[in-house]
Amino acid sequence: MKNCYVISTVQHKPIEINSNPIRNTTNTVKKVLILYYSQSGQLQNVLDNILMPMRQDSNISCDYKQIKPKTSFPYPWKFYDFFDVFPESVYLNGCEVEAIDCQKKYDLIILGYTVWFLSPSLPITGFLQSPQAKKIFKGKPVITVNACRDMWLTAQEKMKSLLENVGAHLIDNVVLTDQGKSIHSFITTPRWMLTGKKDAFWLFPKAGVAENEIEEASRFGERICTALANDLEKKKEPLLKNLGAVNVVGKLIATERIAHRSFLIWCKLIKKAGPPKSRGRKVVITIYAFFLLALVLTIVPVNIIIRKLLYPFRKKQITKAINYYEAPSGK
C-alpha cells in the first residue's frame, strides 16, 4: 500500500496516512458544514485557510455559514458594551440567533468559535442551545476551531458540554492564539477589541494571531481531505493528530481556574445589579474594572512568583493537566 506524508512548513512530526483512494469507499461526495461567528474576520480568515484545500477537492462539498445574532454585537466595542456581555457569556446564557439555512445531512461539522470571558462567544452558545442545533449536530463528528487571545481551556470545557447536549462527537480541537507573550496580548487584544487597532506599538507586537500561523492552518484542511477520502470521519476519532493543533501553556491552567472562579462571583453581582445595559450594571462594571486593575498591579505579579517557586513540586500535576487539555488532537 502506498503511503503519503502530510507536510507543513511548521516543524511538526509527519504522520503516515493511507492516501490510496481517490474517492472515498462509498464513492460519494462528502458534505462538510462549517459554522462560525467572527467579528473582525480573523477567525473567518483562519477557516478560509483550513478550507482552501477542501474547496479544491471535488469530492468534498463545503457549506460555509456565519451564525448571525438577532441583535448584532458592536465591533470595535465600547467599554460598557464589552463588559455588558460578561455575565451572560460566563453563565452560558447565549443570545438569540437567526436560524441557518441548511438541509443536508453532513459527514463532518467544523465549528469555528472565539472565546469571550473564558466561555464560547454568546452567538455560538446561543446557536448551540437553539432547537435547530440538535437536528444538525446529533451524532455528527465535530472539529472545533478557535482563534483567541490565549485563555481558551475553560471555554473548551464549556464547549464540550454544549456539544454533548446536542449529541455531537467532538473529534478534534484546533486552537490558534495571539502572537507575543501573555503579558503583551493582555494589552494588545483589549486595545484591538476596544479601538479596532491591530498595529504594533512601543514594546508590543501586533494584535491577533500571527499571519504565518493563519496561513499554515491549511495543513489541517489537507489532512481533512485525506481523512474524508479514507472515510476516517466515520470512526469518530481524531483526524488532526501530530499537526500541532493545540499548544497548552501549563502556567495558564491555574490562572484560568482562579480567574473563572472570580468571574462566577463578579458575574452574579453584575447580573443582580440589573439587566443588560442598565445603570445598575454600569456601576458594578465600573467597580469591577477598578478591582481588575488593582488585581493586575498587585496579586498577579505575586502569583507569578509563587507559581515559579512551586513549579518543581507541581510539575507532575501540571503535565497531567496539559495532557488532558491537549486532547483529543494533541500537540
Is 179 one of the binding residues for ligand FMN (CB under 6 A)?
Answer: no
Pick the piece of the chain touching ligand FMN (CB under 6 A) from 16-24, 39-47, 213-221, 297-305.
Answer: 39-47
* 82 near ligand FMN, judged by CB under 6 A: yes
C-beta closer to ligand FMN: residue 51 or 225: 51
Residue 174 contacts ligand FMN per CB under 6 A: no
- Its sign, for the CA torsion 116, 175, 214, 22, is negative
Smallest gap from residue 166 Cβ to ligand FMN (A): 22
Contacts of 247 (CB under 8 A, 6+ apart): 175, 177, 331
> Rounded distance, CA 319 to CA 40, Å?
34
Please enumerate in sequence order all residues whose Cβ is within 8 A of that of 2, keeping only pairs 6 or more positions apart, or say none.
19, 20
Q: Is 85 in the site for ligand FMN (CB under 6 A)?
A: yes
Contact 284, 270 (CB under 8 A): yes
Q: How far apart are the first and last CA of the chain?
A: 28
User: In a 3-state reduction of DSSP, which class is residue 32?
Assistant: strand
One residue of 38, 49, 255, 329 binding ligand FMN per CB under 6 A: 38
Residue 229 or 248 having the CB closest to ligand FMN: 248
What gap in Å lies between CA 328 and CA 238, rounded to an integer? 6
Binding string, residues 123-162; x marks residues near ligand FMN by CB under 6 A: ------------------------xxxxxx----------
Span 246-285, contacts to ligand FMN by CB under 6 A = none
Question: Of the candidates 33, 43, 145, 175, which one interacts with ligand FMN according to CB under 6 A?
Answer: 43
Site for ligand FMN contains 329 (CB under 6 A): no
User: Which one-letter DSSP state was computed for residue 235?
Assistant: G
Give the separation between CA 44 and CA 114, rounded to whole angstroms: 10
- Least gap, CB of 146 to ligand FMN (angstroms): 8
Classified as helix, coil or strand, 13 is: coil
Distance CA(21)–CA(40), nearest Å, equals 39
Nearer residue to ligand FMN within complex by CB, 8 or 40: 40
Give the HSE-up count for residue 320: Cα atoms under 13 Å, Cβ half-sphere.
Answer: 4
* Strand, helix or coil for residue 37: coil
Q: Does 40 bind ligand FMN (CB under 6 A)?
A: yes
Q: At closest approach, how far in Å is the CB of 77 from ligand FMN?
A: 6
* Residues 104 to 123 in contact with ligand FMN, rule: CB under 6 A: 114-118
Residues that bind ligand FMN in the complex, under the rule CB under 6 A: 38-40, 42-43, 82, 85, 114-118, 147-152, 189, 193
